[in-house]
């Protein structure tokens, strides 16, 4: 349920309130991240969800047409918001997360950056940690903006997994 609640339910809810928010979903594999991205788009485009948003709470969010060129790894709203999906090690040049403001402007949501069997590999653990602290952290639209959160969702299977390393090396930030 971690992925369902974090990457496939929270983001549509947040995007409804802030349609211009810019978000990134990262996972260990591109296809897993794309699945979350497509689920988000499907929820936001559904008649039931749109009727709830339009009548009860949030903004009247408008999605930009179909994904340009059949792309499944991202979509945008007419209000300037976006959700971008990326697998560990994948490039995300040209995409960022967050707006420079007090209220929610976007998030970098990291969902299972390692497969369970990769936890035994020191190299895989280090690679995932480096991807978070290097590539993903640099994707905040404003590096000096601490209001763009990074959320790590994962199963703890090793004391030196990315969560353990982040808590040890950047305890004040996580």
| Span 75-111, pLDDT tens digits | 988 888 999 999 999 988 889 999 888 889 999 999 9
Split at pLDDT 50, 70, 90, the class of 144 is low
Host H or E run for residue 107:
none
Which is more confident, 18 or 56?
18
**Which ranges of 18-161 does DSSP label H, i.e. alpha helix?**
30-45, 47-55, 122-130
Q: What percent of the chain is predicted at pLDDT more than 90?
A: 49
Report pLDDT for 45.
Answer: 86
Split at pLDDT 50, 70, 90, the class of 6 is confident
Report pLDDT for 68.
Answer: 47
What backbone torsions phi and psi does residue 149 show, to the nearest 5 degrees? -75, 155
Residue 146 reports pLDDT greater than 90 = no
For the stretch 69-75, contacts whose Cβ atoms lie closer than 8 Å and that sit 24 or more positions apart, written own/partner, are 72/34, 72/37, 72/38, 73/30, 73/33, 73/34, 73/37, 74/37, 75/37, 75/40, 75/41
Which is more confident, 152 or 7?
152
């Amino acid at each position: 349920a971690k992925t369902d609640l974090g990457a496939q339910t929270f983001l549509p809810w947040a995007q409804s309130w802030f349609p211009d928010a810019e978000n990134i979903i990262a996972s260990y594999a591109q296809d897993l991240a794309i699945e979350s991205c497509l689920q988000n788009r499907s929820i936001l485009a559904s008649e039931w969800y749109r009727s709830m948003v339009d009548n009860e709470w949030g903004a009247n969010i408008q999605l930009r047409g179909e994904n340009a060129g059949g792309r499944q790894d991202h979509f945008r709203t007419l209000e300037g918001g976006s959700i971008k999906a990326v697998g560990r090690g994948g490039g995300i040049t040209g995409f960022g997360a967050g707006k420079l403001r007090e209220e929610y402007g976007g998030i970098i949501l990291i969902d299972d950056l390692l497969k369970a069997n990769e936890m035994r590999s020191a190299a895989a653990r280090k690679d995932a940690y480096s991807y978070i602290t290097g590539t993903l952290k640099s994707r905040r639209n404003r590096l000096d903006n601490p209001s763009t959160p990074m959320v790590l969702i994962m199963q703890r299977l090793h004391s030196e997994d990315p969560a353990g390393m982040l808590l040890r090396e950047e305890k004040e930030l996580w």
